[in-house]
Amino acid sequence: MTRKRHIYGINFILWLSFIAFAAVIILLTWLFQTTLLRVFFGAEMTDDLTSVGEEAYDRIGFLMQIPGGEEEINRFMVQVMNENDLVTIYLLDTSGNILYPTEVIDPDGYGFVVEPDVAVFRRAVTYLEETVAGGQDASRGLAAVVSGENYVYIARYPAGRYAVDMNTTGDIYLYVDYSTQLAEAAMGSMRVQLIAITVIVIFLALVISVLLSLWLTKPIKRITRAAKRMAAGDFSVNFKGEYSYAEMDALADTLDYAKEEIGKSDALQKEVLANVTHDLKTPLTMIKAYASMIQEISGADPEKRAKHTQVIIDESDRLTSLVNDILNISKIRSGMDTLKLRRLNLSDFIRTVLERFDYLVETQGFTIEREIEEGLYTEADAEKLEQVVYNLVGNAVNYTGEDKKISIGLHREEKGTLRFTVTDTGKGIPEEERATIWDRYYRSAETHKRPIKGTGLGLSIVKTVLLKHDFRFGVESEVGKGSTFYVLFPEK
């Protein structure tokens, strides 16, 4: 057996499917992590920042109007930073220098160490200006993400509108910086978790796929082994077993059934080979014996010679029909033969086939009664149909009773259907044999002396041909009284 396509094993396919499934899940999780989570985080931070910023803007704006409010401003800013761990709040001049808070007031030793990133501050200022220029109300400040990861809030107090000492005459900016440190840390730890999950999932996929494939392939391997043994001719194998899933069970049943059938035909074939060999040998022996006789004894006696040559001719005919039957059946079965359908006068056709039995009527006292309706047509392969009619009538001749009577009928049974019947008065066919007689090489157990040499293939040819035509057929029989074989032809 050559295998053109490369076929993968079930374990590989399972493993691949599991890995693909795991990959999709992990990919989705990563995607969710990196983009969606960021979007959620961002929205929340912007909200937080806006509320902290706006509250501070109002409060500081108010404190700036109070002469001597410097200390209050400082205190307020440190308080905001203490309440919001992630927030750093500044008042900056236009160049980004820190104006407030000016000193460390925090009793816990809160140190004002972090300088604002001036570059980010400048971008925030530009953003604020652009927003105002764009016509949007930015009078109470804006929260924004500037340059990627920096969440800041920025608002402007116009120059010269304050009573406290500010160290500048220009505009003053309230600048709140929201540290993304925590979010980053959370994301970082999630990433670690995700990597761990990825590794675990891939490992699990591997383990599960291996276990599953073992579970799936074990019965397959078992059945394959059994089938190989059967192919080698051992029909004692048993496919049925303890299978863990229904499909295997069904397959085992089917194979057991197939095994029985094949076994049957195997036994049959052996028997038939013996039969056929025997059938071939008998006429050959006869032919040889009579030929020798002619050569040595009867050559000069015309009467005897004629008798002996007739035996040779008869035996040769039997041989020919035997060989023909074997050839025919294998030809039809192998499907090499296709039907050559044509419309034919069935009435005339049957009558012509019956003529071939005239010699039996004349020489052996058979009566063939005919009730054939005229002018009935059907469509069939004439050559093959001839075998059907010939075999059925031949069987009737062989198996009919002492009265040597056979009846042939052809009628229009109902509209569009023609019924052809061959009836004999023989001992009939018992119910249990009616299905098997159509099988190849089937012969009822008892041997039977008959006028036409049979091969055990006759009805098998009938069945094959009629099935190929899609014609209905069958047998009705009463044991002891006789049988009627019938074929239903479509009227054409």
Residues that bind ligand ADP in the complex, under the rule CB under 6 A: 391, 395-396, 398-399, 424, 426, 429, 437, 442-444, 454-460, 483
| Per-residue DSSP letter, 175 | E
Residue whose CB is less far from ligand ADP, 101 or 456? 456
Strands 417-424 and 377-380: unpaired
The Cα 71–Cα 15 span in angstroms is: 70
CB of 458 to ligand ADP, least distance (A): 3
Question: What does each C-alpha distance from 485 to 177, 344, 446 come to in angstroms?
Answer: 104, 21, 21
Shortest separation between residue 6's beta carbon and ligand ADP, angstroms: 48
Query: Closest separation between CB of residue 455 and ligand ADP, Å?
Result: 5
Bridge partners (DSSP) listed for residue 151: 145, 178
Distances from the Cα of 156 to the Cαs of 98, 142, 237, 302, 451, in angstroms?
A: 14, 10, 94, 145, 126
DSSP summary character for residue 456: S
Euclidean distance between CA atoms 152 and 128, whole angstroms:
11
Question: Which residue is associated with the tokens 């990919």?
Answer: 27
- Closer by beta carbon to ligand ADP, 154 or else 429: 429
Nearest to 487 by CA among 369, 349, 280: 349
Choose between 45 and 429: whose C-beta lies nearer to ligand ADP: 429
Nearest to 253 by CA among 236, 241, 237: 241
Give the shortest CB-14-to-ligand ADP separation in angstroms: 52
In angstroms, the CA 277 to CA 281 distance is 6
Least distance in Å: CB of 15 to ligand ADP?
Answer: 56
Closer of 116 and 426 to ligand ADP (Cβ)? 426
Distance CA 384, CA 264 (A): 28
What stretch of H or E contains 296? helix 246-296
The nearest distance, CB 439 to ligand ADP, in angstroms, is 8
Shorter beta-carbon distance to ligand ADP: residue 137 or 432: 432
Which among 90, 85, 83, 79 has a CA at the least distance from the CA of 57? 90
Residue 366 C-beta: closest distance to ligand ADP, Å: 14
Contacts of 467 (CB under 8 A, 6+ apart): none
Of 169 and 447, nearer to ligand ADP (C-beta) is 447
Question: CA 136, CA 134: separation in Å to the nearest integer?
Answer: 6
Q: Could you tell me the smallest distance in angstroms from the CB atom of residue 399 to ligand ADP?
A: 3
CB 175 within 8 A of CB 108: no
CB of 283 to ligand ADP, least distance (A): 15
Nearer to ligand ADP, 98 or 280 (CB): 280
Look up residue 184 and give its amino acid. E
Looking at the Cβ atoms of 168 and 421, the one nearer to ligand ADP is 421
Pick between residue 88 and residue 460 the one whose CB is nearest to ligand ADP.
460
Residue 438 CB, nearest approach to ligand ADP (Å):
8
Written as six digits, the tokens of 87 are 């927030």
> Which residue's C-beta sits nearest to ligand ADP?
454
| Residue 328 or 483 with smaller CB distance to ligand ADP | 483
Instruction: Check residue 430 and report its DSSP letter.
Output: -
